[in-house]
Amino acid sequence: MDDPHNENIELQLLLQAIHLKYGYDFRDYAKASIKRRVLHRLKSSQLPNISALQHSILNDVRCFEQLLLDLSINVTEMFRDPSFYQALRETVIPLLREFPFLKIWHAGCATGEEVYSMAILLKEEGLYSRAQLYATDMNEVVLKQAKDGIFPISRLKQYTENYQKSGGREAFSDYYSAHYEHAVMDKSLKENILFSDHNLATDGVFGEMHLIMCRNVLIYFNRELQNRALGLFADSLCEGGVLCLGSKESIRFSDYSRQFEDIAREEKIYLKKPACYS
């Protein structure tokens, strides 16, 4: 049986090797989650231990790309948590109407389902024409999938149910066209979306945003990296801007808590206060 202590050392060395060789920094991700994903790749690769995996990723970029897909957070769906999107319509949209032009950042956008959800919501609220959406992720493979806007048709039943529960006002089928086993999002939804590479662990401020969406990403970070990401968001938001986190995430207990007030506590939606109040 493998020694857990040795395994943890091997894991640290693997993450250090990834950072030195490829520039991706997973060293401050939650260790239990990272270890689970690495062991999954180990089993799939039929390698004997993490050290062997390290040797493979250092000498074979394709092996690293497979591991990167495992390590990236790509769990998402359209209109995920419909009550959150209801709260967006009711509490955030009225605030966004006050700005003449909108800049919205989807940080850690994965395959893009939430970006397209936002585009649909903005269209229905008459705000899309004056909005610029920035969709970022560190993984170029999933970023390309997001840009393509092509999803398995098997998921559309769930997406349609989510859309209807979220307060959607049209027929969801109007927003995509079906092609055999896939659904292609309507090109009009992509007109104001810019997809680009950004790593929350290593890259800088992305300002001045009126709305930042980063849902169900911080749960995979340790406390130090969570604090770094929340600092980026605080510095990237304009005064009166809105930050949206996932249901199991919070800005409370971070170094930036005092800069925000709750506007939808249950849905983890926060308003950035003016500087004089923070």
| Percent share of the chain, pLDDT over 90 | 71
Q: How many angstroms separate the CA atoms of 249 and 37, rounded?
A: 21
Q: What is the pLDDT of residues 41-92, one digit of tens each?
A: 888 888 899 999 999 999 999 898 888 888 876 678 999 999 999 999 999 9
Predicted structure pTM score: 0.88
- Average pLDDT score over the chain: 92
Q: What is the pLDDT of residues 225-278, one digit of tens each?
A: 999 999 999 999 999 999 999 988 999 889 999 999 999 999 999 999 987 555
Residue 152 has a pLDDT of 94
Q: What is the pLDDT of residues 16-39, one digit of tens each?
A: 999 999 888 888 888 888 898 899
Crossing angle between the packed helical segments 31-45 and 4-22, to the nearest 10 degrees: 90
The dotted CATH code for 82-277 is 3.40.50.150
Residue 151 has a pLDDT of 95
Residue holding tokens 């680009």?
Answer: 196
Residue 276 has a pLDDT of 58
- The answer to whether the beta carbons of residues 197 and 143 sit under 8 Å apart is yes
What is the bridge-based pairing of β-strands 237-245 and 102-107? Answer: unpaired
pLDDT-based confidence at residue 1 (cuts at 50, 70, 90): very low
Domain borders along the chain are: 4-71, 82-277
